[in-house]
Amino acid sequence: MTDDGHGARAGVRAGIVATGSELLTGRITDRNGPWVAERLGELGVEVSHLLLVGDRGEDMAAALRFLASDGVDLVVTTGGLGPTADDLTAEVVATATGRPLELDEHMEKVVGDIIAKFADRLRWDADALAAANRKQAMVPHGATPISPAGTAPGLAVPPHPERGGPTILVLPGPPRELGAMWEDALATEPVREVLARTSPYTETHLRLFGVPESEIAATLRDVGERTDLAPLEITTCLRDFALEVDLRHAPGSGKAAAARDAVVEEIDRRHGRAVFSRTGQTIDELLFDLLDGQVIATAESCTGGLLAGRLTAPAGASAHVAGGVVSYSNDAKADLLGVPRELIEAHGAVSPQVAEAMADGALARFGATVAVAVTGVAGPGGGTDAKPVGYVCFCVRTADGRTIARDPVLPGSRGDIRERSVVLAMHLVRRVLTGE
Amino acid sequence: MTDDGHGARAGVRAGIVATGSELLTGRITDRNGPWVAERLGELGVEVSHLLLVGDRGEDMAAALRFLASDGVDLVVTTGGLGPTADDLTAEVVATATGRPLELDEHMEKVVGDIIAKFADRLRWDADALAAANRKQAMVPHGATPISPAGTAPGLAVPPHPERGGPTILVLPGPPRELGAMWEDALATEPVREVLARTSPYTETHLRLFGVPESEIAATLRDVGERTDLAPLEITTCLRDFALEVDLRHAPGSGKAAAARDAVVEEIDRRHGRAVFSRTGQTIDELLFDLLDGQVIATAESCTGGLLAGRLTAPAGASAHVAGGVVSYSNDAKADLLGVPRELIEAHGAVSPQVAEAMADGALARFGATVAVAVTGVAGPGGGTDAKPVGYVCFCVRTADGRTIARDPVLPGSRGDIRERSVVLAMHLVRRVLTGE
């Protein structure tokens, strides 16, 4: 992670508060905070703190006080907007911004109509329903309600009328509702006022595969010795075994653009072959496009179906995925993929020869135009000196005879080795299809 | 989420600070915070706040001040312990606790030996190495260093000698290092002093499948009308499509034990068939045990290999997983699983009849003792009135002829439907094998 942070304090800063006691047990991982952070980043807003707090009014209030004292311009809260007693966000935000709660009659009707549909499921009686309805239609004085995607309205609350402080955007906890309400939330007057003070960054997204982060760090250090990189914010981050290098800067800065060009040029010069995307496209998206007009089949041993699972994840995958065989046992390799038993005996189930035969079998059995085979030692047991844990054999072959084969030793745990094998296999398919 | 929180403030409270600017871009999801939270929960420590902050000294210091003012007894920090300039945690913690940094000569040698091994990879010269070495061996006065699992030592730092405040446990960011150092960290004097003031909760873990959260909520409300549930902390949470009901209370309370018994009894009475675990065991762990001595094969369409991928996730899965076929196309269903083409034409690829034929095919082709077949409309396209998006047909069949078949309409997105189908399939296998 490289983040020079120069000048970053000048822009609009935000804090995020995700509420929900379940987030503090460690059982549930908060998805809203990272999602909101990524959206805010795209808008040119810098997130300085992300807080997870339980469903306790005093903890939420403390979090809001902390962010106000830290001087953020915007706070986004998620969760705690439901109809029950432990849903406290609106009340806490009303108190924090000195804006008494008032019944919003339009919202009362909107919420009433929605709750009526859920009434049977909630098994509430009429009084409880009316109370829940009223509770969810209470809006801090001067705030803008945001129509619900589920049952709970959101709120865009301007700063405290005397003390000032951050604008607070209050959104529900279910990720689907949060996502559905986001655009409406950005369009509210209080949020628009904050966003008017920012300008989206100019961004460049490079994606590299097969280069260690340390090499990119060395490249960046070398460029930095010749060129002033201060006006540029450089983030390198390893995600899904690919190295993401993101460069961003305030729009219109000639110095920043020159610094960006110097970095991109040097990365291209040293690591050009490893750059697989310049648009931020993921390997999944790239491969989906490349497979247009192809028919792909998989033959998996150590990855156990994860590669096929990933190829079939996008909607529309059935247009190019025929299927696959998970040949976990030797019998399955022979019976379902036609791998000769003597080949397995001669070279072992984990061998370049067997990977090749698996790819041939998948091509033939599925009538595919391209097949990808993976067989390896995922561990933790089963390793030998010659074929240690992490030794994985790949073969990608097209019906017209193009082949790429690899047999690296991959690092990490059993899960890492399986996941990394899936990603490596996808990149090998990409290379066969692009001829790179 | 139900969390009555009664009396919870009495025990030892902790805050967690995860550092790393990459956590605030939304690109990387923090795994350390939830992991530490779960570990602390097991020790009877209540986590009140989890903060993610960037690699900026002032932001980290603000987070520590906030937690100190909130009165927590323990702060656990993760990350920011590396050798480079943006690794600031030790310095910030030293300032916050009023404990000047001092060189620990023993740790200097430990770190030096480790760094020497990495020197080539890091491409540093001798001076940079010595500086990094010294930096990582600096320990706040009176703190206990924790030997590194990677390159960075941890620190257990007692409260500020005059002002008091929390004990701070400083751990590295890489999850593997964090996990490897956890037991040593708990054994340090400053952490032991904090933990001596707590006692692990008495916990009961129920796991249910196929009951909506709202029904459990209604059951809990009804029990609460007859029995005082105040001494009990009840958490219900949906994870991996199973409902987790966790009951915990301070040890030795008769009232709490009676409340717990009342809750368990009523859940058993109303939802007993849905309870699949009373030990906290996951469906994966349960199924792994149940499959001992069996040979399982999968036949997947809409789940695209995810079910096989999950069955092969645990080490040792090869003892009972033969393999599977991902028959995404109709040809694959016919050619690789022997599903009669006329059956597909008559009933459609998504039909109970085809699911049954897929299971039969998997049993035969893999010589399995139990086979599980899944075919469905994952969407977002492809739905009809008769077979809408989410309609999924399951068939589990054993070689000796026991069968369970289901064809529900599952809610959610394409991804949800696929994941939910995997979990439902695993539960159906469990039911066939246990005869429930």
Residue B119 sits at the chain A interface (C-beta within 8 Å):
no
The CB-side HSE value for B184 (13 A sphere, CA atoms) comes to 16
* A408: Cβ contacts below 8 Å, ≥ 6 apart: A391, A392, A424
Taking an 8 Å cut-off on Cβ atoms, the answer to whether A366 and B332 are in contact is yes
Taking an 8 Å cut-off on Cβ atoms, the answer to whether A322 and B329 are in contact is yes
Confidence of residue B116 (pLDDT cuts 50, 70, 90): confident
The CB-side HSE value for B359 (13 A sphere, CA atoms) comes to 29
CB nearest A325 (choices: B121, B317, B325): B325
Residue A71 sits at the chain B interface (C-beta within 8 Å):
no
* Chain A residue with the nearest C-alpha to that of B368: A332
**The residue type at B289:** D
pLDDT at A200 over 90: no
* A236: Cβ contacts below 8 Å, ≥ 6 apart: A1, A2, A213, A216, A217, A220, A243, A244, A245, A246
| Among B residues 245-304, those touching chain A with beta carbons less than 8 Å apart | 298, 300, 303-304
* Chain A residue with the nearest C-alpha to that of B121: A214
Whole-number pLDDT of residue B122: 53
Higher pLDDT, A234 or A209: A209
Mean pLDDT of A13-30: 89
Mean pLDDT of A346-373: 98
Whole-number pLDDT of residue B85: 67
How close B312 comes to chain A (CA, Å)? 6
**The residue type at A64:** L
Whole-number pLDDT of residue B96: 95
**ipTM beyond cut 0.85:** no
Taking an 8 Å cut-off on Cβ atoms, the answer to whether A27 and B237 are in contact is yes
Taking an 8 Å cut-off on Cβ atoms, the answer to whether B239 and A21 are in contact is no
pLDDT at A399 over 60: yes
Confidence of residue B21 (pLDDT cuts 50, 70, 90): confident
- CA distances from residue B108 to A290, B78, B117 in whole angstroms, order as listed: 52, 21, 14
The CB-side HSE value for B115 (13 A sphere, CA atoms) comes to 26
Confidence of residue B125 (pLDDT cuts 50, 70, 90): low
pLDDT at A306 over 50: yes
Mean pLDDT of A295-304: 98
pLDDT at A150 over 90: no
- CA distances from residue B279 to B29, B244, B283 in whole angstroms, order as listed: 29, 11, 11
Whole-number pLDDT of residue B29: 86
Say how many CB pairs under 8 Å bridge A and B: 279
* Chain B residue with the nearest C-alpha to that of A412: B176
Could you read off the pLDDT of B390-409 as tens digits, one per residue?
999 999 999 999 999 999 99
* Chain B residue with the nearest C-alpha to that of A214: B122
| Among B residues 405-434, those touching chain A with beta carbons less than 8 Å apart | 414-415, 418
The CB-side HSE value for B420 (13 A sphere, CA atoms) comes to 23
Residue A116 sits at the chain B interface (C-beta within 8 Å):
no
Confidence of residue A375 (pLDDT cuts 50, 70, 90): very high
Averaged confidence pLDDT in chain A:
90
Confidence of residue A123 (pLDDT cuts 50, 70, 90): low
Is residue A143 classed as helix, strand or coil in its secondary structure?
coil
Task: List the single best residue of A122, A247, A325, A389 to mutate versus B (max B Cβ within 10 A).
Answer: A325
Could you read off the pLDDT of B132-170 as tens digits, one per residue?
778 888 999 999 999 998 878 999 999 999 999 999 999
pLDDT at B202 over 90: no
Could you read off the pLDDT of A64-101 as tens digits, one per residue?
999 999 999 999 999 988 776 678 899 999 999 999 99
Is residue A224 classed as helix, strand or coil in its secondary structure?
helix
Mean pLDDT of A304-321: 97
Confidence of residue A319 (pLDDT cuts 50, 70, 90): very high
Using the Cα atoms of residue B374, residue B375, residue B376 and residue B380 in order, give the sign of their dihedral.
Answer: positive
pLDDT at A161 over 60: yes
Whole-number pLDDT of residue A113: 82
Mean pLDDT of B379-385: 93
Could you read off the pLDDT of B288-331 as tens digits, one per residue?
999 999 999 999 999 999 999 999 999 999 999 999 999 999 99
φ and ψ at residue B115, rounded to 5 degrees: -65, -35
* A389: Cβ contacts below 8 Å, ≥ 6 apart: A377, A378, A379, A380, A381, A382, A383, A417
Confidence of residue A120 (pLDDT cuts 50, 70, 90): low
Whole-number pLDDT of residue A6: 34
Mean pLDDT of A202-207: 91
Q: Which helix (H) or strand (E) holds B46?
A: strand B46-53
Give the DSSP letter string of B4-24. --TTGGGS-EEEEEEE-GGGG
Mean pLDDT of A210-216: 84
Highest mean pLDDT among A11-20, A219-228, A307-316: A307-316
Mean pLDDT of B106-122: 75
Higher pLDDT, A188 or A253: A188
| Angle of CA points A30, A32, A35, to nearest 5° | 120
Higher pLDDT, B74 or B435: B74
Mean pLDDT of B84-99: 89
| Among A residues 193-222, those touching chain B with beta carbons less than 8 Å apart | 214, 218
Residues of A in contact with B17 (CB under 8 A): none
Other residues' Cβ atoms within 10 Å of the Cβ of residue B242: 19
Averaged confidence pLDDT in chain B:
90
Higher pLDDT, B132 or B187: B187
* A316: Cβ contacts below 8 Å, ≥ 6 apart: A288, B381
* C-alpha span between A325 and A319 (Å, rounded): 18
φ and ψ at residue A81, rounded to 5 degrees: -110, 5
pLDDT at A128 over 70: no
Could you read off the pLDDT of B60-83 as tens digits, one per residue?
999 999 999 999 999 999 998 877
- CA distances from residue A309 to A313, A365, A379, B300, B416 in whole angstroms, order as listed: 6, 19, 21, 10, 13
Residue B57 sits at the chain A interface (C-beta within 8 Å):
no
pLDDT at B128 over 80: no
Could you read off the pLDDT of A168-182 as tens digits, one per residue?
999 999 888 999 999
pLDDT at A41 over 60: yes
* A417: Cβ contacts below 8 Å, ≥ 6 apart: A302, A376, A378, A379, A389, A390, A392, A410, A411
* C-alpha span between B375 and A326 (Å, rounded): 17
Residues of A in contact with B214 (CB under 8 A): 121-123
| Angle of CA points A408, A411, A416, to nearest 5° | 110
Residue B79 sits at the chain A interface (C-beta within 8 Å):
no
pLDDT at A428 over 90: yes
pLDDT at A420 over 60: yes
Whole-number pLDDT of residue A176: 87
Confidence of residue B201 (pLDDT cuts 50, 70, 90): confident
| Among A residues 152-181, those touching chain B with beta carbons less than 8 Å apart | none
CB nearest A323 (choices: B34, B237, B332): B332
Whole-number pLDDT of residue A26: 82
* B221: Cβ contacts below 8 Å, ≥ 6 apart: none
Instruction: Give one word for A246, left, alpha or beta, with left for phi > 0 and alpha for psi -120 to 50.
Output: beta
pLDDT at A240 over 90: no
User: Percentage of chain B with pLDDT > 90?
Assistant: 70
pLDDT at B270 over 50: yes
Lowest mean pLDDT among A182-186, A324-328, A410-414: A410-414
Higher pLDDT, B196 or B1: B196
| Among B residues 304-323, those touching chain A with beta carbons less than 8 Å apart | 304-309, 311-313, 315-318, 321-323
Q: Write down all domains in chain A, each with its CATH number in brackets.
A: 8-195 (3.40.980.10), 202-277 (3.30.70.2860), 283-434 (3.90.950.20)
B369, B410 Cβ separation under 8 angstroms: no
CB nearest A53 (choices: B22, B49, B239): B49
pLDDT at B263 over 60: yes
Instruction: Tell which residue, B427, B274, B202, B25, has the closest CA to residue A35.
Output: B25
How close A5 comes to chain B (CA, Å)? 9
* C-alpha span between A1 and B56 (Å, rounded): 13
Mean pLDDT of B207-220: 88
Confidence of residue A4 (pLDDT cuts 50, 70, 90): very low
A41, A50 Cβ separation under 8 angstroms: no
